[in-house]
Structure 1
Amino acid sequence: MRAGRHLCSGAEAQSGGGGGAPGGGAPAGGGTGPGGAPAGGAPGGDGASSGGGGQGRTADLTPTDDQRYLRGAQVTNADGIVEFTTIWPGWYRGRTVHIHAMVHVGDDRVLTTQVMFDEALNATVFAAQPYAAHTGRDTINDNDSIYTDSMLLKVTEEDDGYLGVINFSVDADQDGS
């Protein structure tokens, strides 16, 4: 990873801002979407919208390079729920620990947002290996330019890890109701 850049999986050439390497270390490889196609996300910038912004078509799911890490796409179940397993996310200079998320209804992207974690829990996780090896975190939630309380995951301990839950509300037909 290149220092001084915020790297977006599948869109490194268009990535910018933030700087520094994510706190989780080197990119993990190989995310794929349905049918084995590369999974995608929003090229260009960090997709940092705290609300219903970022509407668009599925072109934002088309990767522009072969760099993949911690990226995927899933379809909700009959109850509108998506579940995934991941490592604790990292950070980069000027940003708190976060995960980017988008919601699509059909071919339309109706929500682009980020989710964050409680700072006491971040401190606990980053004190343990392998995370303790990556030091220098400079931004906590309260000092992040995008953070709002509504972006905070509800996290509980479960088995040998944590379970994080958040409910996204979207205006699927974008009629304001």
Structure 2
Amino acid sequence: MASSYKAIMAGVVVLIMVAIGMGIYGYGNTIYPVDLALGNLARAESAQDPEDLAKYVIAAKRYLPDKGNPVWSFPTPRTDFGLIQQELDRVVSRANAIANVEPHSSAYNTGMDDMHVTLDAMQENIIEALPYMYVSTTNMMFSVVWIAVIMGLFAVMRRGRAKYRGEEYESQ
């Protein structure tokens, strides 16, 4: 009994380690790039000239998905990455257009303010979509399988313990 109990406990520890590894891997491939994009968008929002603003927006675009909507239950245009990418393209276009305007003119300041407000809205939209990126169909299927295996291991442990106690009771 003791050796099978140790094997089952080792299996549980291995499953927990696999789950931790999958979580870290999933975060690194799904959430961290979006965090990098949000950081670049925050830098773009605080940029004081259109060249820097465009540079940070272009860097952010590389980290964001090209298309798709992670909100699979009730998707909205605010969380659609294709539309977010299009809006970021328009921000870069406006930044390039404003780059030739005199820096202390009202047109320059209005354009910069408009881009800063747009970038703030884009950040809010991405943050709204971020929790749904954790709950992808792949993650849900891995979670269901992982929970089923854990429950199966505990059921086997319970049967083994009951069998061991029954044998121990009969031997007395």
- TM-score of the two chains, using structure 2 as the length reference: 0.24
Question: Which has the greater radius of gyration?
Answer: 2
Indicate the structure whose relative CO is greater, using CA pairs within 8 Å and at least 6 residues apart.
Answer: 2
Q: Which one has a larger percent strand, Structure 1 or Structure 2?
A: 1
Q: Which one has a larger percent helix, Structure 1 or Structure 2?
A: 2
